[in-house]
Amino acid sequence: MQKLMEGKVIIVTGAGSVGEGWGNGKAAAALYAREGGKILAVDRSIDAARQTQEIIRSEGGVCEVIAADVSKTADVKAIADAAMDHFGRVDVLHNNVGIAETGGPVETTEESWNRLVAVNQTSLFLTHKYVLPIMEKQKKGAIVNISSLAALRWIGFPYLGYTTTKAAILAFTKNVAMQYAPLGIRANCILPGLMDTPMIREPLKASYGGDIEEMRAKRHAQCPMGFMGDAWDVAHASLFLASDNARYITGLDLIVDGGLSLKVA
């Protein structure tokens, strides 16, 4: 049986992990590779990208790496150039980079606001700006953008910069989906709910009293299914949307939250 991503070239931004375990980007890169994809693993930390590369190569997959700050134009252009130099095409763009900082409009500093906009929002604009022309020439491509359920729902404490920038991803993706549908390019969003990944543990533990295990227990209890999702739940949803099995799906907001968004409170 042919693998879902056989021969496809996939750029994964945020393909490393900020701590031990599996982050969303790391799991997505590994799963794409297991399904036959050729990966360009992008991360600000070259060591984190190389850890992902080592896992993929140890399983017989193909993975090249590049260190880049996706909020900077020159770095993003270098990503697109690297994909073409290594593989000669780009079939899938998977935008996973994101940071989380808490605070409302008064508590959030201007520096924090600008940082969140740059990393969570401007990065998306730049990756599309430099990858879409490649896909347009190919007359085919798929884009998966990782947003958050926090773009739609209050999650229990002020989270203004994060929720605002993640909400912007939804509108951005729909604009791209409509403009590029006639050109054979699809764009979809995934909205993870409460997930148990390295990225959320340190930034959010203070909002749950400072104890990570207590935080995990509280977040598990909030979920209708009784447990948080993990990076693999996001990765499998991403694999579907990136694959030709989703060839007639574009502009979708796919919620991956174990039913959390169905709750009244």
Q: Which residue stretches of the chain have pLDDT < 50?
A: none
pLDDT for residue 203 = 64
pLDDT for residue 145 = 98
Strand (E) or helix (H) holding 78: helix 73-87
Domain enclosing residue 76, as ranges: 9-256
Q: Could you give the CA distance from residue 124 to residue 175 in angstroms, rounded to a whole number?
A: 13
- Contact residues for 205 (Cβ-Cβ < 8 A; gap 6+): 211, 212, 215
Report if residue 250 sits inside a domain.
Answer: yes
pLDDT for residue 157 = 83
Report if residue 263 sits inside a domain.
Answer: no
Report if residue 261 sits inside a domain.
Answer: no
pLDDT for residue 204 = 66
Q: Could you give the CA distance from residue 227 to residue 220 in angstroms, rounded to a whole number?
A: 4
Helix axes 231-242, 24-34, angle to 10 degrees: 50
Q: Which residues are catalytic?
A: 162
Q: CATH number for the domain including 119? A: 3.40.50.720
Give whole-number Cα distances, 176 to 21, 23, 66, 141, 185, in Å. Answer: 33, 26, 26, 12, 9
Report if residue 156 sits inside a domain.
Answer: yes
> What would the pLDDT profile of 227-246 be if each residue is shown by its tens digit?
999 999 999 999 999 999 99
Q: Which tokens sit at 119?
A: 């990393």
> What would the pLDDT profile of 112-139 be if each residue is shown by its tens digit?
999 999 999 999 999 999 999 999 999 9
Total count of domains within the chain: 1
Q: Which tokens sit at 94?
A: 């998977």
